[in-house]
Amino acid sequence: MAEIQLVHLSKVYGNDVTAVRDLNLEVAESEFMVLVGPSGCGKTTALRMIAGLEEITSGEIRIGGTVVNELAPRDRDIAMVFQNYALYPHKNVFENLAFGLRMRKVPKAEQKERVEEIARILGLGEMLHRRPAQLSGGQRQRVAMGRAIVREPKAFLMDEPLSNLDAKLRVQMRAEIARIQQALKVTTVYVTHDQVEAMTMGNRVAVMRDGVLQQVDTPQRLYDAPVNLFVASFVGSPPMNLFEAEVARGNGGLVCRVGDTELDLPPDVVAERPSLAEYVGRRVAVGIRPEDVREAAGWDGARLRGRILLVESLGSEQLVHIEIAAKPLERSDLVDTAAQPPGPSLGAGEFERSTTLLGRFDRHLLLAPDEAVEVAIDPRLLHFFDLETGVAISAVDVPAVAPVAG
Amino acid sequence: MSTVTPIAPTPVAAVAPRGRGRRRRARQLGWNVVGLVVLFVMVFPVYWMVATAFKPGQQILSYTPQWIPTDPTLSNFRDAVDQPFFWDAAKNSIIIVTAVVALSVVLAFLAALALAKFHFYGRKAFIVLILGVQMVPLAALIIPLYILMSRVGQVDKLSGVIAMYLTFVLPFTVWTMRGFLLGIPKELEEAAMVDGATRFGAFVRVLLPLVGPGLVATSIFAFIQAWNEFIIAYVFLHTPQKQTLMVWLASFTTLRGTEWGPLMAGATLCALPVVVFFLLVQRRIAFGLTAGAVRG
């Protein structure tokens, strides 16, 4: 068990393709750290550099305080679970599990003992003499896990280990991996593109985009206080509603103008975000989580008027698409919103444009398409972002890891 | 011999065929006939060789062809084996073939490894070169090669012939091995390296067992090439004691005529090792070993 430190880590392919840019990340001892981001964001490259399978262009990797930049994978004492499992097809389950021990010259008797112990824990006891080809997907996944566990390494590295399983098995294995990690208390770096996996499994989650680390925090903090538009739109399912609004003075304080509706911003909201005052008279990006879009009955605060476009029943609740008068963010692809420089098309007619607001409502509410509705918006639950840089206009104590522009 | 495949009996549908079905069956029948003809053309010489080897002298040269040897005899085989230099030739052939197979498999594996798994300057050019040299006809190369080999004192030596055989066996074997190696996911050796193997250890413990079918395919090719080769052996090996079996076979045709019986018996004997070798190793080709390594 050991902590892993990445210090100014960069990876450049050829001369111009930067896969990872100046990555600084500290994974504490026995922590479960998830690297998450869309495909091509550099998360797998970072993981492979930790494993020693990819050369480091610049920067430093320390495992347990030792710089491992020049160490071969086998000397780093880490175990890796690959996306496609990479089981040795010519060896049976026992030999697959024992391979790492054999390479490390563990005595035969101990090899057998440890392999059988792990096989028992993972429910592979009956299959020790089967070849990988004779196993189901879930069983192969378990063998791949077992091969990592049996070595008792300093750290686990997992590269999307669940992405090849079907949905049901994935949920099951998700809990199993998290449980095993908690029991063994082995430092783990887990790579995934699935933000649900990231949120449910990680002690902390590191969000990456285009090789740049965006934010590292606990899942809850990531959800509650995203540092920029990218993180805001990436984390959460369904994603955060994002649209343009204007900050102005009025009613004795600041107001947020969405379409033609004015939402009063209570003094505490403004006090928490000192820089919001600088945005008076300017446009900002505003976000609200779908579960914070509430039914207006009994609410005496600000409301938004809209029209129901679609009702999706999920059984436990319903997702309601509501059309409101607000200017959508320039980029339709929300996850990449932050990449978009401010569009040149701001101008006349912008108020006529509408945005779809996604709301999560109680399943007992009777809602039908085309109905006019009013939804309650609690200004305390709004997220504000700079329209140009995408950076959150937020409480001072949230550390912004990297600016979005750049 | 893929042309033989259509011969497999086609199951006849129980339902009476309509017009289209009948036409399709007629076409199928046509292909089957073609297949049978090709099979006959391929198999008959082999049969005739074996049959002749067992016939006594007067049956071999009789004007009415004897399709089946009525009184089979082993005297031709005795005559063949008793010919001068048979045992020398057999020994030489075995030495050459063993050396060529062993060297080509080892060298091809290592060269293919470099081509498949490493990036180096000039890799593409090298691959093109390997393909290119196979296009040059052997007859065009034989004189320059002879001059080259005689300068380094390798004419009339088994080692010279081994080197010569390698020059035309290796390009093919390297190319084949490369294909097999490319089919193995790179995660397997990475997993081995993370598990504690050195790079070389990962090759030997993980890649080598997995390219088994590739090794078999290339070794069969090398074996057949080295065993059956005639021109180079004939040109390079002058002394009778140093000749290979194929050159020895040619000695049955003399100025006084050809001794067909012993020649066919000798030819049958020479064909046997290839068949035996193939039967020994062909099982390993049959199934892909990589099944189950990765999902998909």
Measured between CB atoms, which of A80, A90, A135 is closest to B191?
A: A80
B53: distance to nearest CA of chain A, Å?
45
Residues of A in contact with B213 (CB under 8 A): none
**In this complex, do A140 and B292 lie within 8 Å of one another by their Cβ atoms?**
yes
Q: Which of A48, A84, A158, A173 to mutate to test the interface with B (most CBs of B within 10 A)?
A: A84
A297: distance to nearest CA of chain B, Å?
52
Residues of B in contact with A133 (CB under 8 A): 291-292
The mean per-residue pLDDT over the stretch B63-84 comes to: 82
Between A and B, how many CB-CB pairs are < 8 A? Answer: 90
The nearest alpha carbon in chain A to B295 belongs to A84
User: What secondary structure, in 3-state letters, does chain B show?
Assistant: CHHHHHHCCCCCCCCCCCHHHHHHHHHHHHHHHHHHHHHHHHHHHHHHHHHHHHCCHHHHCCCCCCCCCCCCCCHHHHHHHHCCCHHHHHHHHHHHHHHHHHHHHHHHHHHHHHHHHCCCCCHHHHHHHHHHHCCCCHHHHHHHHHHHHHHCCCCCCHHHHHHHHHHHHHHHHHHHHHHHHHCCCHHHHHHHHHCCCCHHHHHHHHHHHHCHHHHHHHHHHHHHHHHHCCHHHHHHCCCHHHCCHHHHHHCCEECCEECHHHHHHHHHHHHHHHHHHHHHHHHHHHCCCCCCCCCC
Task: For the beta carbon of residue A75, count every other beta carbon within 10 angstroms.
Answer: 13
**In this complex, do B187 and A131 lie within 8 Å of one another by their Cβ atoms?**
no
Q: What is the mean pLDDT of chain B?
A: 83
pLDDT digits (tens, 9 = 90+) for A98-149: 999 999 999 999 999 999 999 998 888 889 999 998 998 889 999 999 999 9
Residues of B in contact with A45 (CB under 8 A): none
B209: distance to nearest CA of chain A, Å?
7
pLDDT digits (tens, 9 = 90+) for B2-48: 444 444 444 444 455 556 778 888 889 999 999 999 999 999 999 98
B268, pLDDT greater than 60: yes
A402, pLDDT greater than 50: no
pLDDT tier for residue A288 given thresholds of 50, 70 and 90: very high
CB environment A156-189: b (16+ within 10 A), e (fewer): bbbbbbbebbeeebbeebbebbbebbeeeebbbb
Measured between CB atoms, which of A74, A78, A86 is closest to B198?
A: A74
pLDDT tier for residue B284 given thresholds of 50, 70 and 90: low
A164: contact with B, CB 8 A cutoff: yes
**In this complex, do A52 and B194 lie within 8 Å of one another by their Cβ atoms?**
yes
**In this complex, do B194 and A78 lie within 8 Å of one another by their Cβ atoms?**
yes
Look at residue A27 in the predicted model and tell me its pLDDT. Answer: 94
Q: Which of B118, B180, B187, B195 to mutate to test the interface with A (most CBs of A within 10 A)?
A: B195
pLDDT digits (tens, 9 = 90+) for A186-211: 999 999 999 899 999 999 999 999 89
A202: distance to nearest CA of chain B, Å?
23
Chain centroid to CA A29: 21
Residues 6+ apart with CB under 8 A from A82: A144, A159, A161, B187, B190, B191
Look at residue A22 in the predicted model and tell me its pLDDT. Answer: 93
Report how far residue A192's alpha carbon sits from residue A164's, in angstroms, rounded to the nearest whole number: 12
A203: distance to nearest CA of chain B, Å?
25
With a CB-CB cutoff of 8 Å, which residues 289-348 of chain A face chain B? none
Q: What is the mean pLDDT of chain A?
A: 86
